[in-house]
Structure 1
Amino acid sequence: MDVFYSYTYATMGWLGIQALPLIASPTIITTLLSPQVSEPTPLEEYFARSLGITMLALGVMVVLLTGSVPLTSSFSETTDSGVSTDLSDPKAPYAVPTLTISFFYHAAMAIFCYARYNTSGQTTFILGALGSGGLAAIGLWCILFASSSGRISRKTGADKRTSGFPFQNKESASAKKKQMGKAI
């Protein structure tokens, strides 16, 4: 799960990097993205700062809802690493949905930035596409592999998703023979 927590902190960092210039100086952002150099209108400043604050809030919510920061009232309920060991942990229902939503956000932003780069040729868009695309790839990896704790067999400790196609699973076959020998 270390990749999962790294992903959540990287998401917060990436959104924070994008949000700070929007909040601090919308003039720079409009100058970088506009073909004509002009002062931003009050409406453009409002939207830029609102977007920046929203991105910061989204980053903090990703970290909090995935359980990267323990939200318990005492330290005795967590281990040394800060991850709760209780099976009825209240973050469990929110971790995977938050991961999925943040993955779709990063994927959509990567596609959008790449499409804008193709039409405008501006370097800022390709940088956004690379950052969001990298996080989308890590998010997809976490969805596919880091959230599979429920697919491990309690008896054998093996992954239940494995099969014998196209090659035989010799470890599974030998375990079945051993179990059949004990049953007889």
Structure 2
Amino acid sequence: MDVFHAYTYSTAGWLSLQSLALITGPSMIVSMLLDETRPASSIEVYLARCLGFSLLTLAVLTALLTGSIPLTNTTSEAVTTEDSDTKAPYALPTLMLTSAFHATTGLYAYTWWVSRGQGTFLVAVTMHAFLAAIGLWCVLFASSDGKISRRTGADKRTAGFPFANSEAAKKHAGKKGL
């Protein structure tokens, strides 16, 4: 399993875990986050369950739009041209949005952890920061296979600025002189 699919499945799993806690036990979640002990109001239970259903929907959409769960049963429909990516067409935008979601949610949980000091928020900060870092890594490095030259074996999209590859230039100049 590559890093991209691991990120997709871990994002879907983390969001599903959060949603199941909000759907099955909204009163418990609300009472854990309150300072005073009181039963949760009906609006708090309603909003917690709506948030749980929203997180579950986001988890399923993440898995579907990134192509981790195929929507067709044949592989002949997949485009296999040299310039296209084998992932779903919405994989990169979904990856960028979920990474931004994890980053902002992690920052929001961090502000709550600093102000309240509850360990629940520290778990959320840790998981969201980890998933945001993996998502950023996937956006930067795992979003395409690169263009590898058959002649030199180097990535064609790299530039020589600010450090030129002098060894490759010497080898290339030596081949021209033959």
Mapping for residues 31-110 of structure 1, pairs under 5 Å = 31-74=31-74, 76-77=75-76, 86-87=80-81, 92-110=88-106
What's 2:147 paired with? Answer: 152
Alignment partners' CA distance in 2, 1:179 and 1:65: 47
Q: Is the 8 A contact 1:65 1:91 kept in 2?
A: no
Structure 2 residue 159 is the aligned partner of structure 1 residue 173: no
Alignment partners' CA distance in 2, 1:28 and 1:109: 21
Letter in 1 for 2:132: A
Alignment partners' CA distance in 2, 1:53 and 1:181: 67
Alignment partners' CA distance in 2, 1:69 and 1:93: 13
Q: Is the 8 A contact 1:77 1:86 kept in 2?
A: no
Letter in 2 for 1:18: Q
| RMSD over equivalenced CA pairs, Å | 2.3
Unaligned runs of 5+ in 2: none
Letter in 1 for 2:105: M
The 1:171/1:72 distance shift into structure 2, 3 A limit, reads farther
Q: Which runs of 4+ in 1 moved over 6 A?
A: none
What's 2:123 paired with? Answer: 127
Residue 170 of structure 1: CA displacement?
3.9
After TM superposition, the structure 1 stretch with the greater mean CA deviation from structure 2, 21-30 or 89-98, is: 89-98
Residue 118 of structure 1: CA displacement?
0.5
Alignment partners' CA distance in 2, 1:180 and 1:122: 67
Q: Is the 8 A contact 2:66 2:90 kept in 1?
A: yes
Letter in 1 for 2:53: I
Q: Percent identity?
A: 42
Letter in 1 for 2:76: E
Letter in 2 for 1:127: V
Alignment partners' CA distance in 2, 1:2 and 1:77: 22
After TM superposition, the structure 1 stretch with the greater mean CA deviation from structure 2, 106-115 or 39-48, is: 39-48
The 1:178/1:57 distance shift into structure 2, 3 A limit, reads farther
Structure 2 residue 155 is the aligned partner of structure 1 residue 163: no
Identify the structure with the greater helix proportion: 1
Tell me the TM-score normalised to structure 1 length. 0.84
Alignment partners' CA distance in 1, 2:49 and 2:133: 28
Alignment partners' CA distance in 1, 2:56 and 2:171: 51
Residue 90 of structure 1: CA displacement?
8.7
The 1:5/1:29 distance shift into structure 2, 3 A limit, reads same
Tell me the TM-score normalised to structure 2 length. 0.86
